[in-house]
């Protein structure tokens, strides 16, 4: 710690213009074409994390959110870092209590639109800076199911405590890979460190379009074009938290249906349901049609591009206890298939699972991980 305190006095920043010269714009363009929407969230007290974010966003297409403490002008390092220590002690004493976390400015941005989130945070006394802990504590449920990466900036201390804080605060996310540690001695080389790190990350691939969801049965995912009504908006919000799996049963030789396990707002009207229609019945049941029926329903959407006979086979017409997953992304199923069937050597595959051609740049799957080549 003494070494850290002494060295902090001589801490210097890097030459930003030198770094810009190293930027390869093709990586940024190719990543943007292939990966889902990314948000970079950061807090920075003495500007190192801000510099890291500037370098990072010169490599990937991302929106940026800066977390700010509600109380301005505080000096966390004053009196031997007394205030920083006090804030962390309060969290450590009672980590499940919202009152233990220092207040931050309200964040209005909705995380629903992002599939990937990269957190950039300073280390304070071997922990995550208290201000960033507040944001993660408040937004954990919104981040559930998202792909999350972590960059930690410290003077010299190792980052395992910050990684532990991140895992405690965000128990339900998918970590994109190992956290990246940038410290005073390698801060000036951050462009290449970030470049290499990005190549190891498991980004969520697909852009979520707000008029689509996916129905997966027995590993086969089919897209559904959604209506725009209060029921589908509530359903999308639900699916942004996590996919929903329901058990449906065949009925009347025209549908599979069953309880959603939660209610959605209804816009009921007399509907003559057609094959492929996805319908809300009585506010809390989902019906998926392979035949026709007339009833007072709320229309949710329609399965894209399957004929009546294909629908019968996809929906397991006539069977009971059919496990049906509703989700916003279809890539889980297809990437699993690629992993199990094709990833036995160092070959690269496209995200669609075909063998990549030599020399082509882009995002590929190699040994089960997405890599930027």
Residues in contact with ligand FMN by CB under 6 A are 4, 44-49, 76-77, 81, 84, 122-126, 153-157
Q: Considering beta carbons, is residue 123 or 201 the nearer one to ligand FMN?
A: 123
Q: Considering beta carbons, is residue 155 or 329 the nearer one to ligand FMN?
A: 155
Closest distance to ligand FMN from the beta carbon of 154 (Å): 4
Closest distance to ligand FMN from the beta carbon of 157 (Å): 3
Q: Considering beta carbons, is residue 126 or 266 the nearer one to ligand FMN?
A: 126
Closest distance to ligand FMN from the beta carbon of 325 (Å): 40
Closest distance to ligand FMN from the beta carbon of 107 (Å): 18
Q: Considering beta carbons, is residue 4 or 295 the nearer one to ligand FMN?
A: 4
Q: Considering beta carbons, is residue 84 or 258 the nearer one to ligand FMN?
A: 84
Rounded Cα distance, 282 and 293, in Å? 15
Q: Is 180 in contact with 194 (CB distance < 8 Å)?
A: yes
Closest distance to ligand FMN from the beta carbon of 309 (Å): 60
Q: Copy the structure tokens of residue 184.
A: 């005073």
Closest distance to ligand FMN from the beta carbon of 38 (Å): 20
State the distance between the two ends of the chain, measured CA to CA, in whole angstroms: 40
Q: Considering beta carbons, is residue 32 or 47 the nearer one to ligand FMN?
A: 47
Rounded Cα distance, 310 and 306, in Å? 6
Nearest Cα residue to 142 out of 263, 41, 240 = 240
Neighbours of 28 (CB within 10 A): 16
Residue 144 CA, chain-centre distance (Å), reads: 8
Q: Considering beta carbons, is residue 20 or 75 the nearer one to ligand FMN?
A: 75
Closest distance to ligand FMN from the beta carbon of 47 (Å): 5
In the bound state, the residue with its beta carbon closest to ligand FMN is: 84
- Residue corresponding to tokens 């990269």: 118
Q: Considering beta carbons, is residue 87 or 303 the nearer one to ligand FMN?
A: 87
Closest distance to ligand FMN from the beta carbon of 77 (Å): 5
Q: Is 167 in contact with 191 (CB distance < 8 Å)?
A: no
Neighbours of 110 (CB within 10 A): 10
Going by their DSSP bridges, the two strands 180-182 and 147-153 should be labelled as parallel
Closest distance to ligand FMN from the beta carbon of 189 (Å): 14
Rounded Cα distance, 275 and 164, in Å? 50
Q: Considering beta carbons, is residue 153 or 229 the nearer one to ligand FMN?
A: 153
Nearest Cα residue to 35 out of 65, 66, 59, 64 = 59
Per-residue burial over 134-168, b = 16 or more CB atoms within 10 Å of its CB, e = otherwise: bbbbbbeebbbbbbbbbbbbbbebebebbbebbee
Alpha helix (H) residue ranges in 98-189? 130-143, 160-169
Query: Residue 244: is it exposed, middle or buried by C-beta count within 10 angstroms (0-12/13-18/19+)?
Result: middle
- Hey, which residues does 302 pair with through a beta bridge? 225, 277
């Amino acid at each position: 710690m003494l070494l850290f305190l002494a060295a902090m006095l001589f801490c210097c920043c890097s030459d930003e213009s030198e770094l810009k010269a190293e930027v390869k714009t093709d990586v940024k363009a190719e990543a943007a074409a292939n990966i889902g929407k990314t948000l970079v969230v950061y807090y920075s007290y003495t500007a190192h994390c801000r510099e890291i974010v500037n370098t990072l966003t010169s490599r990937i297409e991302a929106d940026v959110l800066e977390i700010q403490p509600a109380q301005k002008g505080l000096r966390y390092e004053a009196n031997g870092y007394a205030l920083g220590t006090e804030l962390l002690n309060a969290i450590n004493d009672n980590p499940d209590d919202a009152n233990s976390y220092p207040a931050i400015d309200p964040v209005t941005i909705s995380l629903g639109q992002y599939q990937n989130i990269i957190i950039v945070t300073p280390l304070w006394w071997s922990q995550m800076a208290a201000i960033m802990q507040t944001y993660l504590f408040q937004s954990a449920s919104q981040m559930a199911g998202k792909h999350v990466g972590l960059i930690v900036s410290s003077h010299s201390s190792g980052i395992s405590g910050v990684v532990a804080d991140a895992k405690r605060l965000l128990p339900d996310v998918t970590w994109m890979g190992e956290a990246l540690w940038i410290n005073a001695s390698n801060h000036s080389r951050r462009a290449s460190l970030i470049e290499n790190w990005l190549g190891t990350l498991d980004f969520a691939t697909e852009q979520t379009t707000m008029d689509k969801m996916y129905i997966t049965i027995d590993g086969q995912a089919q897209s559904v074009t959604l209506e725009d009504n209060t029921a589908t908006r509530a359903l999308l919000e639900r699916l942004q938290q996590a996919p929903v799996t329901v058990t449906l049963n065949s009925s009347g030789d025209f549908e599979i249906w069953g309880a959603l396990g939660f209610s959605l707002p209804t816009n009921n009207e007399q509907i003559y349901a057609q094959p492929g229609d996805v319908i809300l019945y009585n506010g809390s049941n989902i019906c998926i049609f392979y035949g026709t029926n007339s009833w007072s329903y709320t229309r949710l959407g329609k399965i894209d591009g399957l004929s009546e006979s294909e629908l019968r086979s996809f929906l397991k017409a006539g069977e009971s206890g059919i496990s049906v997953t509703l989700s916003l992304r279809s890539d889980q199923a297809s990437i699993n298939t690629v992993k199990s069937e094709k990833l036995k050597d160092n070959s690269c595959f496209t995200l669609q699972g075909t063998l990549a051609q030599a020399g082509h740049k882009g995002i590929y799957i190699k040994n089960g991980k997405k890599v930027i080549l």
